[in-house]
Structure 1
Amino acid sequence: MEAADFPPDPSISLREAAESDLPAIVEIYNAAIPSRTSNADLRLVTVESRRDWYHAHSAERRPLWVAERDGKVVAWVGLSDFLPRYAYHITAEASVYVDPSLQGQGVGPWMMQRLIDECPSLGVENIISLVFAHNKPSLKVHERLGFQRWGLLPGVTKLDDARGDVVVLGRKIGA
């Protein structure tokens, strides 16, 4: 069996996100903002501002899952449309965020692998991840998961006073 079949911690389970999970999803996302390593938001987001984003997900096409431990959401992973025009429907952008207390323990890679494994049934042939070039841990995890560098967007971010590059990572499903 693949490692994706087993959570890194047996007390962690994966399930489809419910709208009632939005406060926990937002809390985990917001916890990443101050580090300036994993998302491009500079201000905290609100549950209300993420409601349309939540509703853009669907179990059949663009899932959003949460990892739970002892009834508490501790991480989330999801696919979003890469670009809105129909020809891109075979390509999706992946995002994964883990509660700071569990980072580095294999939860993120486990969730990403589960998502990758589900892609054929979703009609997804390519997964894209946009990762800050200075986020070395995320770049290494993606590499271990079979992602390749498909491009570089030089100087496209300004986090506080620092300009940054974004690495475009991609993986062909079934390759």
Structure 2
Amino acid sequence: MITYQDATLTDLPFIVDVYNSTIAGRQVTADTEPVSVESRLDWFHQHNPHNRPIWLIKYQNQPCGWISLSSFYGRPAFYKTVEISLYLHQDFRGKKIGQFMVAEIEKFAQKTGIEAIFSYVFGHNLPSVNLFKKMQYEQWGFLPKIAELDNVQCDLLILGKRLN
């Protein structure tokens, strides 16, 4: 069973641990070194449960990841557009948690007046590319060889979806 709840500051160490666990794989994030809880405090406080949530995800009552909606570009004209982020602990991938959570946060977003959701995804991150395509996201942008991870140049995709 998959459940979720608004993340609290006491969840931030777990959120950071899950995020940091993806760095070594060079597939999910452009960070190349682990981040600290302290360095993520401002990011955490930019969210709120009303329209820019961070949700702690649980699978069979065990914390397994997090999902968030973040403001895009910080300008008022983009208020109805958000960036989605989804991170799952490696032990919980492949259980359709991502599909369930993207659908849930899309329903939440629609209720709060959000009209567009997008995600930045490395082109070589096939699990995330496939997840978002399965959820009817389209390629809105392609930035060729914009990142470098371990001397390998990587493409960045912008995958987006308009909400009805």
Provide the TM-score with structure 1 as the length reference.
0.90
Corresponding position of 1:158:
148
Corresponding position of 1:55:
45
**Deviation, structure 1 residue 69:** 4.0
Give the conservation status (yes or no) of the 8 Å contact 2:123–2:155.
yes
Corresponding position of 1:106:
96
Structure 2 portions without partners, runs of 5+: none
Q: CA RMSD in A?
A: 1.1
Give the whole-Å Cα distance in 1 for the aligned partners of 2:33 and 2:16.
Answer: 12
Give the whole-Å Cα distance in 2 for the aligned partners of 1:157 and 1:83.
Answer: 20
Alpha-carbon displacement from aligned partner over 1:111-159 (angstroms, at most 9, x marks no partner): 1110011112222100011100001111111011110011101111011
Indicate the SS of the match to 2:34. coil
Give the conservation status (yes or no) of the 8 Å contact 1:62–1:122.
no
Give the conservation status (yes or no) of the 8 Å contact 2:3–2:61.
no
Give the whole-Å Cα distance in 2 for the aligned partners of 1:69 and 1:143.
Answer: 23
Corresponding position of 1:15:
5
Size of the aligned set, in residue pairs, is: 164
Give the conservation status (yes or no) of the 8 Å contact 2:137–2:161.
yes
State percent identity of aligned pairs.
Answer: 35
1:146 correspondence with 2:124: no
User: What is the identity, as a one-letter code, of the residue corresponding to 2:157?
Assistant: V
Give the whole-Å Cα distance in 2 for the aligned partners of 1:145 and 1:163.
Answer: 27
